[in-house]
Amino acid sequence: MRFFIDLRRSLREAMVVFRRNGLVSLGCIVISTVALFSFSVILLMAVYVRFGTISIGDRLNVTAFLEATLTHEEVNTILVRIRHLPETKDAVYVSPEEALRELKSKFHDLEIDASPIPPSVRITPGDTAYVPVLIAQLTELEGVSSVTDITEAASNFFGIVQIGTILGIALLLIFFAGFLFIVSASTGISIYSFRREIEIMQLVGASRTFVQNPFIILGSLYGLIGALLSSLFLIPSYQRIDNFYHAFIAFDPIPLDEYNILSRIILLALLVGLATGWISAKQSVRRYLK
Partner 1 sequence: MKKGFEAKNSSILIAKDLVKTYPPYQKAVNRISFSVEKGEFVFIVGKSGAGKTTLFRLLSKQEEADSGQIFINGNDITRIPPKRGYLVRRELGVVYQDFKLIHYKTVYENISYALEVQSVPDRKIRKKVDEVLQVVELSHKRKALPLTLSGGEQQRVAIARALVNRPLILFADEPTGNLDWDTSWEILKLFMAINCQGTTIVMATHNEKLLQLMKLRTIVLEQGKKTDEIFY
Q: Which residues bind partner 1 (CB under 8 A)?
A: 2, 5-6, 9, 16, 20, 197, 199-208, 210
Give the single-character DSSP code of 146: E
What is the identity of the amino acid at 277? G
Q: Which residues, in sequence order, are CB contacts of 53 under 8 Å at separation 6+? A: 157, 160, 161, 164
Over 74-91, what HEC string results?
Answer: HHHHHHHHHHCCCCEEEE
Nearer to partner 1, 90 or 199 (CB): 199
In the complex, least distance from residue 196 CB atom to partner 1, rounded to whole angstroms:
8
Nearer to partner 1, 161 or 216 (CB): 216
In the complex, least distance from residue 4 CB atom to partner 1, rounded to whole angstroms:
10
* CA distances in angstroms from 228 to 37, 190, 247, 270, 272, listed in the order given: 10, 20, 29, 7, 11
In the complex, least distance from residue 21 CB atom to partner 1, rounded to whole angstroms:
10
Nearer to partner 1, 213 or 276 (CB): 213
Nearer to partner 1, 86 or 205 (CB): 205
Are residues 277 and 32 in contact, defined by beta-carbon separation less than 8 angstroms? yes
In the complex, least distance from residue 253 CB atom to partner 1, rounded to whole angstroms:
59
Cβ neighbour number for residue 226 with a 10 Å cutoff:
30
Nearer to partner 1, 120 or 213 (CB): 213
Give the single-character DSSP code of 254: S
In the complex, least distance from residue 200 CB atom to partner 1, rounded to whole angstroms:
5
Are residues 235 and 262 in contact, defined by beta-carbon separation less than 8 angstroms? yes
Nearer to partner 1, 139 or 207 (CB): 207
Give the single-character DSSP code of 21: T
Are residues 154 and 39 in contact, defined by beta-carbon separation less than 8 angstroms? no
What is the identity of the amino acid at 86? P
Nearer to partner 1, 20 or 59 (CB): 20
Using DSSP's 3-state secondary structure scheme, residue 127 falls into coil
Q: What are phi and psi of 71, to 5 degrees?
A: -80, 170
In the complex, least distance from residue 211 CB atom to partner 1, rounded to whole angstroms:
8
In the complex, least distance from residue 203 CB atom to partner 1, rounded to whole angstroms:
6
Using DSSP's 3-state secondary structure scheme, residue 92 falls into strand
